[in-house]
Amino acid sequence: MAASKKAASIVDDSEAPTIAPSSSSAITDLEKDENQRSVREPSSGPEENTGEGRAEDVGEKHNGLARTTTGVSKTGSSLEQTRTREDGSEYPTGVKLGLIMLALCLSVFLIALDNSIIATAIPKITDHFHSLDDVGWYGSAYLLTTASLQLLFGKFYSFFSIKWVYLVAIFLFELGSLICGVAPTSTALIVGRAIAGVGSAGTFSGALIILAHSVPLASRPLYAGAIGSMYGIASVAGPLLGGVFTDEVTWRWCFYINLPIGAITIVVIAIFFPDPNRAKPKDQTWAERIKEFDPMGTAIFMPAVICLLLALQWGGTKYDWDSGRIIALLVIFGIFIIVFLGIQWWQQENATVPPRIFKKRTVWSGSIYSFSVGAAFLSSVYFLPIWFQAVKGATAVHSGIMNLPMLISTVVMSLIAGALVTAFGYYTPFMIAGSIFMSIGYGLTSTFEPNTRSPVWIGYQILAGAGCGFGMQQPMMAVQTVLDIKDVPTGTAVIVFLQTLGGALFVSISQNVFTNKLVEFVRDYAPGLDPNVVLATGATSIQKTIPSQFLEGVTLAYNDALTKTFLVSAAMATVSIVGSSLIEWKSVKGKKVEMAMA
């Protein structure tokens, strides 16, 4: 049968399919490219990913075939649309996909648990090693290596085997945890924390990259919500497990627990995740290959991040903020970041973050959103338990239980948002709703008083947690929607890095707000009491240690100082509205383009 005159049209999902069998190879090629996000021009309103540019290419390659106005319904889409990866192989399904998802969830749970469980273990660790002066390094050694290497891991995932880079990251985290568990000295523990931080730098972004190669984009938000919910679950489990281990067994089990969880992840990913087929690399000299990793940019970026984090770690605690050391660290950070940005512009495609990626509206607006949400969420997770301990008189473990409404709300809404984005396609409305709920919820927590009743603080936490759950994972889905598959590792690394940096930066800022305000309010509400005595007492001990005549004033001072830190979370939640409002309206579903014989 002779081919008729060509006709082309792009169709919606809702139309009925009319596909000629003789055009199946063209359909296969085209739909594989559809999985690679066809056309992604910035837009100011809701739009689908049309794939028009790719349709023209297919029309040129397959003479006699035509794009028709007959479309594919959701029930009639081809197997390639739902089962074929960008390299032509099939996505994992069934038990294999379930095991991969279990491994990814466990790996994210692992690093989130490590962040929350260490806080409970630190008092016992300092008692064991007599190392009170090293307390800051137990957290900062981990954070320094994590934050400074996250963007570099994006390069590793772009140029090397995704499976093996991920397995190496998990192995390094496990090695660091083992060193911490068996550490004979405080110095050895700090070294172990630094090594674990290296592994952590590639774990969360790696989990999202593996997800991108395991699940079609249209179904991905639901699975991303499940992975993201691990942070909330670990935030609940961490303090409780830490309390049990330190009180009933030994603090070393706070690190040993990572070993079996990580081992399961390593075995499952090694056996069941099919590494995507990459194009064979062109012949290059060693100098050319090294240049692809932007050694100059990396050499500038890592010390810049370290200077910033050290300034945040030491400022207001070990040294005054106006001391020469802190000012020097901040100045060096500023200079290095300016130089780093210049190198990125100069290097272009060989940059750590190629400018063409960050110039995409979804990437930079998603970065604003992730930075703000990370700042708001982590600051609240850190300071809300202190409010329960100091103002409500709760124990450390009980304060963790009282913090459950926010964390459970975050987990549940993360799963619900993932399911809804999978069903409707658009993630932007959930980011906007998340920003609004967070802003209102954290704003309301700043009204807490010592006599605030439980229904009130439970309700406000649920509202703030719902906002975090709705929006926290959406920027990862957004960058995976607008970027080609080869750029997904870099885009994901940028989002994860800025979320981490936002949390680290604003926990320190909130800490300084809290300390300064506590000193001020103790002088106002408990005149005659040295504020340094209150600072040295600690939140869990003020009800027992502070003399009775000062207790009411100190409790009020704690309340007013802590609610000022909740205002910091509210402010950053409000900033996230900027990111969610500017992000492009794209659908993870897209439109289908069909080839047929007339």
Is 529 inside any structural domain? yes
5-9, 176-180, 297-301, 479-483: least confident range: 5-9
Share of the chain above pLDDT 90, in %: 23
pLDDT of residue 575: 94
pLDDT of residue 496: 85
3-state secondary structure string, 417-456? HHHHHHHHCECHHHHHHHHHHHHHHHHHHCCCCCCCCHHH
* pTM exceeds 0.75, yes or no: no
Q: Is the pLDDT of residue 251 over 70?
A: yes
In the predicted model, what is the mean pLDDT of residues 567-584? 92
> Are 50 and 38 spatial neighbours (Cβ–Cβ below 8 Å)?
yes
Is 545 inside any structural domain? yes
Is 550 inside any structural domain? yes
pLDDT of residue 423: 86
Q: Is the pLDDT of residue 225 over 70?
A: yes
pLDDT of residue 72: 36
Q: Is the pLDDT of residue 249 over 90?
A: no
User: Which stretches of 361-403 are DSSP H helices?
Assistant: 361-390, 396-402
Q: Is the pLDDT of residue 391 over 50?
A: yes
Q: Is the pLDDT of residue 35 over 70?
A: no
Q: Is the pLDDT of residue 20 over 80?
A: no
pLDDT of residue 369: 94
Angle between helices 24-34 and 52-61 (to 10 degrees): 150
Q: Is the pLDDT of residue 471 over 50?
A: yes
Domain limits at 529? 516-555
Is 381 inside any structural domain? no
Is 338 inside any structural domain? no
Is 570 inside any structural domain? no
Assign 456 a pLDDT band (cuts: 50, 70, 90).
very high
pLDDT of residue 140: 72
Q: Is the pLDDT of residue 296 over 50?
A: yes
Q: Is 441 left (phi over 0), alpha (psi -120 to 50) or beta?
A: alpha
Share of the chain above pLDDT 70, in %: 80
Assign 57 a pLDDT band (cuts: 50, 70, 90).
very low
Tokens read off for 15: 């139309």
Average pLDDT, rounded, for the chain: 78
Report the amino acid identity of residue 484: D
Q: What is the pLDDT of residues 359-389, one digit of tens each?
A: 888 889 999 999 999 899 888 888 888 888 8
Is 549 inside any structural domain? yes
CB atoms within 10 A of CB 502: 26
Assign 84 a pLDDT band (cuts: 50, 70, 90).
low
Assign 37 a pLDDT band (cuts: 50, 70, 90).
very low
Q: Is the pLDDT of residue 454 over 80?
A: yes
Higher pLDDT, 420 or 292: 420
25-29, 313-317, 429-433, 536-540: least confident range: 25-29
In the predicted model, what is the mean pLDDT of residues 554-568? 91
In the block, residue with structure tokens 């309103």: 45
105-119, 167-181, 307-321: least confident range: 307-321
Report the amino acid identity of residue 212: A
Q: Is the pLDDT of residue 7 over 80?
A: no
Q: What are φ and ψ of residue 595, in 5° steps?
A: -110, 135
pLDDT of residue 256: 92
DSSP string covering 532-556, please?
Answer: HHHHHH-GGGHHHHS-HHHHHHHHH
pLDDT of residue 281: 59
Assign 131 a pLDDT band (cuts: 50, 70, 90).
low
Q: Is the pLDDT of residue 395 over 90?
A: no
Assign 85 a pLDDT band (cuts: 50, 70, 90).
low
Number of domains the chain contains: 1
19-23, 111-115, 246-250, 280-284: least confident range: 19-23
Q: Is the pLDDT of residue 17 over 60?
A: no
Strand duo 595-596 + 66-67: pairing: antiparallel
> Are 518 and 563 spatial neighbours (Cβ–Cβ below 8 Å)?
no
pLDDT of residue 86: 63
Q: Is the pLDDT of residue 353 over 90?
A: no
Q: Is the pLDDT of residue 130 over 70?
A: yes
Q: What is the pLDDT of residues 91-114, one digit of tens each?
A: 888 899 999 999 999 999 988 888
94-102's contacts with Cβ under 8 Å and 24+ in sequence apart are: 96/272, 97/214, 97/215, 99/268, 99/272, 100/210, 100/214, 100/268, 100/269, 100/272, 100/273, 101/214, 101/223, 101/226, 101/227, 102/264, 102/268
User: What is the Cα gyration radius of the chain?
Assistant: 26
Is 440 inside any structural domain? no
pLDDT of residue 280: 59
